[in-house]
Amino acid sequence: MSETVLDRRGWAGWRTVLWLGVVSLLVDLVYEGARSITGPFLASLGASALTVGLVTGAGEAAALGFRLFSGPGADRTGRYWRWMVLGYALTALAVPLMALAPALGAAGLAFGASMVLLERTGKAIRSPAKSVLLAVAARNVGRGRGFGVHKALDQTGAFLGPLLVAGVVALTTHQWAGLLVLAVPGAVALGVLTWMHRYVGDPPRAQESEQAPLVALPRRFYVYAVACALTTVGLMTFGVISFHLVHEHLVTAALVPVVYAAAMGAEAVASLGTGFAYDRVGGGTLLVLPVVVAVVPVLVFTDHVAVAVAGVLLWGAATGVQDSTVKALVADLVPAARLATAYGAFAAFQAVAALAGGALAGWLYDVHRGVLAGAIAGAQVVALVLLAAVLLRSRRDRDVASGRG
What CATH number has the domain bearing residue 377? 1.20.1250.20
pLDDT for 389 equals 93
User: Is the same domain home to 134 and 256?
Assistant: no
User: Is the same domain home to 165 and 299?
Assistant: no
In a domain, 52, yes or no: yes
Q: Which residues of the chain have pLDDT under 50?
A: 1-10, 144, 206-214
Contact present, 166 and 34 (Cβ < 8 Å): no
Pairs from 70-78 (Cβ < 8 Å, separation ≥ 24): 70/124, 70/125, 70/126, 70/127, 70/128, 70/129, 71/128, 71/340, 71/343, 71/344, 72/344, 74/128, 74/129, 74/132, 75/132, 75/340, 78/202, 78/203, 78/205
Q: How far is CA 162 from CA 45, 111, 179, 198, in A?
A: 20, 22, 10, 32
Contact present, 22 and 16 (Cβ < 8 Å): no
pLDDT for 61 equals 78
Strand-pairing partners, residue 200, are 7
Contact present, 232 and 357 (Cβ < 8 Å): yes
Q: How many domains does the chain have?
A: 2
Contact present, 317 and 270 (Cβ < 8 Å): yes
User: Is the same domain home to 190 and 262?
Assistant: no
171 Cβ neighbours under 8 A, 6+ residues apart: none
Contact present, 22 and 192 (Cβ < 8 Å): yes
In a domain, 4, yes or no: no
In a domain, 208, yes or no: no
pLDDT for 121 equals 92
pLDDT for 279 equals 67
pLDDT for 383 equals 95
User: Is the same domain home to 265 and 399?
Assistant: yes
pLDDT for 324 equals 67
User: Is the same domain home to 383 and 359?
Assistant: yes
In a domain, 1, yes or no: no
pLDDT for 162 equals 86
Cβ neighbourhood burial of 213 (10 Å; 0-12, 13-18, 19+)? exposed
In a domain, 156, yes or no: yes
In a domain, 343, yes or no: yes
279: amino acid identity, one letter: D
Choose one of 202, 234, 256: the last residue of a domain. Answer: 202
User: Is the same domain home to 219 and 347?
Assistant: yes
pLDDT for 10 equals 42
User: Is the same domain home to 96 and 149?
Assistant: yes
In a domain, 2, yes or no: no
User: Is the same domain home to 346 and 253?
Assistant: yes
pTM of the full predicted structure? Answer: 0.67
In a domain, 207, yes or no: no
pLDDT for 321 equals 80
Q: Which domain holds residue 374?
A: 215-405
User: Is the same domain home to 265 and 130?
Assistant: no
Q: What is the mean pLDDT of the chain?
A: 82
pLDDT for 135 equals 67
